[in-house]
Structure formats: structure tokens, C-alpha cells
A and B are shown apart, each in its own frame.
Chain A
Amino acid sequence: MAHHNTNIDIHDEENYDPTVWVPKAHSHGTKALWRTFWFLFFVTILDILLYFQLDPGMFRNIVFIGLGIMKAAFIVYIFMHLHYEQKVLKMTIVLPMIFVVYLIIWLLQEAHVWNTLIW
């Protein structure tokens, strides 16, 4: 580590050195973590129950995708701590997902056309 200087305070807010700076870590407790765990646990059980209770079809698929997005949001916001980060970091990570939405709309439209072609 060429840049490392033993005299520097790596947590110093005023003299920010991007090569070594690390914000001072502090715990947010385990309550939200366990709550997220139980959420993931019970939504997965709900997935299994719905798989056997609902008939296969578009409605069931949309329910599964909706529950999947909810699970993903809890993992990113609580387990990955995005909830506690700066707004600018949240936007940097979440906003580019618009490209995925675009890809879904575009490719499913394409697939609808492939459906009418003979493979």
C-alpha cells in the first residue's frame, strides 16, 4: 500500500483521502436483520403454498414475480444496507435498473413475434 501513511486518520471527515478513507462503522442492531430473515422465510413458504394452490397461468406468474421483487428489495435495502446509504448512492444503484425494465418489455414483445414463427 504505497499511499498508506500511518499518521493519517482513515475516518477523518475533513481531510478526505479517497485512497484510504473509510467511514466510521456503527451497528444498526440486529432487529431489522431478523425481521428481514423471517420475511424471506415466510414469503418463500407462501411461494410454495401458492405453487400448489393456484392454477398455472399468467396470474400466478405475476404473483411470483411480485413476491420475488419484494424479497429482492428487502435483501438490497436491509441485508446490503442500501437503506442506510446516501441518497446519491441509492440512485446510482437503483436507477440503472430502468434498462432491465426496458429489456423485459422489448424482449417479451420480440418473443411474442417468435411465437408466430415456425422454429
Chain B
Amino acid sequence: MSSNAVNALPTWAGGKSPFRVSYGKFMMWIFLLSDAFTFSSLLVGYGAVRFSFPSAVIEEISFGQDLHEKYHDGFVETMQATGVFSESHWPSPDLVFNHFPFLHGLHLPLLFVSLMTFILIFSSVTMVLAVEAGQRMDKRSVAINMFLTILGGLAFLGCQAWEWTQFIGEGATLYSNPFGPVTFAALFFIVTGFHGFHVFSGVVINVIIFLNVLRGTYEKRGHYEMVEKTGLYWHFVDLVWVFVFTFFYLI
């Protein structure tokens, strides 16, 4: 094939846009598809490793019980001694992620991560309201909703930092885990870390778009499509969290 023949062709000879979306938005969709494959690989890999271990040993602890009082901060050691936490089987998530800020020592499984999930759902709805306001060219409403989305993203990141600090403080790293198999802690840090980095990039992108909204960049351009594109990314991050929440905390 000679390059001249290629250059002689017009850029696009098909008439109308086949997908009826702009080039940028289409490429955002393709990027998110590839990102979905990356997250699927991580989560399916987690599922496979977990499935290859025997199920967790069930330890009945009533909701809200004061573990600090009962075990004098020796909860993990007691569970290791009784065989509830051992390297040969997967730990039950509600014995690992059972903390809540300012309620030290109480057994509160799923509560904190549910709060994180609700924060992300709220920031998703403010994002989609910003997109909708952009379609109506309502600059003020776009700005307010973008700002609320950024706050939600920062709140989520703060919660995740607290959760990581807690888990690391108990002795979990990429290569050690007092609760059970090392792969449990390693995959927890890799997958929630990869998701958390997506949230962080999403917040950075949202801040840039928010500043452009305030400066009137999109008002001048005549459309708020950049808000729609960053909205696609932000909702994808929420979508991934649905599955991280399901696989790491519920199952």
C-alpha cells in the first residue's frame, strides 16, 4: 500500500457520525472498557485465589460488642490461638473490617464500608446532576454540583486512608497478614489501592474541570461535553466500587 493512496482518501467519507458521539466521548468509552477489563482481571483473580482456599471459620460475635473490654486488645492473638485466623483458610471479612472511627474496640462489621459506599453514591448523583445542568447550559448549577462531587470524592479518600491505616496498624502489609493468608492482605491493598488511585485521579480531573467551569471555558465553547466525559469516568469509579464492596466486604 502506498501512502499516497491513503492520503488521497478524505478523513471520513461515511457522511454522518456512526456512533453519534464526539470523538473524545467515544474514546472515553473505549478507555473505560479497557479499564473494566483491568479491574475484572483483578477481581476475578481475587475470586479464584479465594475460592481455592477453604471457607472462613464462623465466629459468632454480636453486633456492637466491646472487643477491647473482652480481649484487652488481644483480639487478633486470641483468634489466631483458637484457629479462627489461620494461614490455611480465608478470614471472614466481618472479623477483619469491623472498626468505626471514634468507637474504639466495638465490633461493628460492614458499618464503615457502608458509609463509604453511601458517600460514593451521593457523589455519583451530584456528578450526574452536574452533567444534566451542563446539557441545559446552567453554569451555576454545574459549578455547585461539581463542587459537591469533589467534596464527596475527598471524603471517600479520607475514609479509605483511615481504613488502610487501621489495617496496616494491625500488621497487614503486602507480604504479611495476621488475619490469614498473605494473599488476602496483598490483594486487598492492590485492588482497593488501584481503585483508590482511580478515585484520586477522578478528584484531580474534577477539580480541573470545575476550575474551567468557573472560568467560563465551556460557556464560551458552547457546550459542556467535558463535564459529561469526566462524569463517565467518575461513574465508572463508582461502578467498580460496587464490585469491590461486593467481593471484599460482602462475600
The chain A residues found within 8 Å of chain B, CB to CB, are: 10, 13-14, 16-19, 21-30, 33-34, 36-37, 40-41, 44, 47-48, 51-52, 56, 60-61, 64-65, 67-68, 71-72, 75-76, 78-81, 85-86, 88-89, 92-93, 96-97, 99-100, 103-104, 107-108, 110-112, 114-115
Contact = CB atoms under 8 A, between A and B. Distances in A.
| Residue from the set B18, B45, B51 with the largest chain A CB neighbour count within 10 Å | B51
A21 B17 contact: yes
B243 to A, nearest CB: 6
A64 B110 contact: no
B144 interface: no
Interface stretch (B99-107, B201-209, B230-238): B230-238
A108 B44 CA distance: 8
A83 to B, nearest CB: 13
The 10 closest A-B pairs by CB, nearest first: A114-B52, A111-B48, A111-B51, A107-B48, A68-B246, A27-B135, A25-B135, A111-B52, A37-B125, A100-B40
B222 interface: yes
Given A10-B222, A56-B55, A103-B40, 16 more contacts: A16-B16, A18-B12, A19-B23, A51-B110, A56-B56, A65-B246, A72-B243, A76-B239, A79-B238, A86-B20, A86-B21, A89-B29, A103-B41, A107-B48, A110-B48, A114-B52
A28 B128 CA distance: 11
A75 to B, nearest CB: 5
Contacts of A34: 125
Contacts, number: 163
A10 B22 CA distance: 10
Given A75-B124, A115-B51, A115-B52, A23 B20 contact: yes
Given A99-B37, A108-B47, A56 B20 contact: no
Range class of the B interface residue count: 35 or more
Interface string B218-251: 0000111100100110011011001101100011
B17 A23 contact: yes
Contact of B242 (A14, A60, A68, A96): A68
A48 B63 CA distance: 13
A85 B20 contact: yes
12 contacts: A10-B223, A13-B16, A21-B23, A30-B132, A33-B129, A44-B117, A51-B94, A61-B251, A81-B131, A103-B41, A103-B44, A110-B48
A53 to B, nearest CB: 12
Contacts of A24: 223
Nearest to A104: B44
B223 to A, nearest CB: 6
A78 B50 CA distance: 33
A22 B22 contact: yes
B68 interface: no
B129 A30 contact: yes
Nearest to B234: A79
Given A72-B243, A92-B29, A44 B121 contact: yes
